[in-house]
Amino acid sequence: MKVLVTGNNGYIGNVMCPMLLSEGFDVVGLDSNYFEGCEFEQRQAKIGQIVKDIRQVAAEDFQGVDAVIHLAGLSNDPIGELNPGITEKINLDASVRCAQLAKQAGVKRFVFASSCSVYGVAKEGEMISEQGELNPVTAYAKSKIGTEFGISPLAEADFSPVFMRNATVYGVSPLLRLDLVVNNLAAWGHITGKIKIMSDGSPWRPLIHIQDFSRAFIAALKAPKELVHNQVFNVGQNSENYQIRYLAAAVKQVIPGCSVEYTGEHGSDSRTYKVDFSKINTVLKDHFKPKWNVLKGVEELAEAYKRNKLDMPAFEGDKFVRLRHLTLLKKSGKLDNDFFWTEKK
Ligand SMILES: NC(=O)c1ccc[n+]([C@@H]2O[C@H](COP(=O)([O-])OP(=O)(O)OC[C@H]3O[C@@H](n4cnc5c(N)ncnc54)[C@H](O)[C@@H]3O)[C@@H](O)[C@H]2O)c1
């Protein structure tokens, strides 16, 4: 089966593509390569590559493709808050257009990387299932749910979209991100021996290891059509909902001597939510077998940080934080006019 992975040159794509290859898929990537030169470790996958912005894709790009995994997009909230327009154009408008063109070109399955952030702030103690109330509080979350609503009506006998509402990812990748909570806290612990939590540590977050995320997408490709056709799946495990204070404790356990400080403040990020992952773990149980938990993930990260001598200049640099790198590209005139925002002082 030929699979086109958009956003293959990002954090997740660099782990998912080698896994797809080892499962026997024929893989081609499509990416604008915003994060070229941001390697943490050597990339593994050698695959055919279309270097293109998803805003410029054409039906020909999908010729001969059986399935699309759509990862490309502006991948976190701060970028969306600086300029909601660019997030809407790339994450929503271009994504819906990709699905339309893919369908036109005869692609059978379109697996979209949505996010659990569509649930926003949940009620105390509630585990949110796929039927739960939607409460997207950021431009990023709004773009994800908008894309689901834009693509779903395209579903037909020969075109099966699948909507993967992913937990927040952690884990090692050749294109590491340090703006993700577990990766970030482990890096603080590794570099400074101090972890600072900008809250009282009580907010809940659903988390997933990068390889389990990839396993879920592979499951969505392999499962019989009737199990996934136009379905929404929360992607994670019920046991992988954590309070932030547990994440700090996990880092402390793996990196002995770490100290943890809670600022107790309520920052701009009001999100707290626990997600119910029962559906994917029952409907796709023959295909999706997650293998990780946060503690194991922190051990893996700490080992990789040591191996690659991650230090403060790298941590504070612009390679591993998406917003910083895009800001650098913008300042050097390498982004188009859709990318505009005024920097905060
Ligand atoms: N990382 C997470 O915790 C997480 C959680 C839920 C959902 N997701 C979604 O998974 C996807 C991948 O996330 P990631 O962490 O690998 O992000 P990433 O930023 O590391 O990778 C995104 C990739 O998309 C490419 N891209 C961005 N805009 C593009 C455009 N206009 N045209 C072509 N390519 C473009 C970038 O060059 C990059 O290679 C994203 O859609 C993200 O929203 C991620």
Q: Which atom of ligand 1 is nearest to the CA of 169?
A: 3
How would residue 84 be classed by pLDDT, with cut points 50, 70 and 90? Answer: confident
Indicate the average pLDDT of the chain: 94
For ligand 1, atom 11, the nearest C-alpha belongs to 71
Residue 121 has pLDDT above 80, yes or no: no
CA dist 168 and 205 (Å) reads 8
Q: Which atom of ligand 1 is nearest to the CA of 8?
A: 39
How would residue 337 be classed by pLDDT, with cut points 50, 70 and 90? Answer: confident
Distance 8 CA to ligand 1 centre (A): 8
Which is higher by pLDDT, 313 or 341?
313
For ligand 1, atom 44, the nearest C-alpha belongs to 75
Q: Which atom of ligand 1 is nearest to the CA of 94?
A: 31
Which is higher by pLDDT, 142 or 269?
142
Distance 235 CA to ligand 1 centre (A): 16
pLDDT at 344: 62
pLDDT at 181: 95
Residue 32 has pLDDT above 70, yes or no: yes
Distance 227 CA to ligand 1 centre (A): 26
Least confident span in 91-100, 112-121, 225-234: 112-121
Q: What is the pLDDT of residues 278-291, one digit of tens each?
A: 999 999 999 999 99
Q: Which atom of ligand 1 is nearest to the CA of 9?
A: 39
pLDDT at 334: 92
In degrees to the nearest 10, what's the CA dihedral of 89, 140, 212, 306? 100
Residue 174 has pLDDT above 80, yes or no: yes
| C-beta 166 within 6 A of ligand 1 | yes
Residue 345 has pLDDT above 60, yes or no: no
CATH architecture of 2-331: 3-Layer(aba) Sandwich (3.40)
Residue 297 has pLDDT above 90, yes or no: yes
Distance 12 CA to ligand 1 centre (A): 7
Residue ranges covered by each domain of the chain: 2-331
Mean pLDDT to the nearest integer, 94-116 = 98
Count the Cβ atoms, other than its own, within 10 Å of residue 122. Answer: 18
Residue 267 has pLDDT above 70, yes or no: no
Which is higher by pLDDT, 256 or 13?
13
CA dist 203 and 120 (Å) reads 12
Residue 211 has pLDDT above 80, yes or no: yes
pLDDT at 82: 83
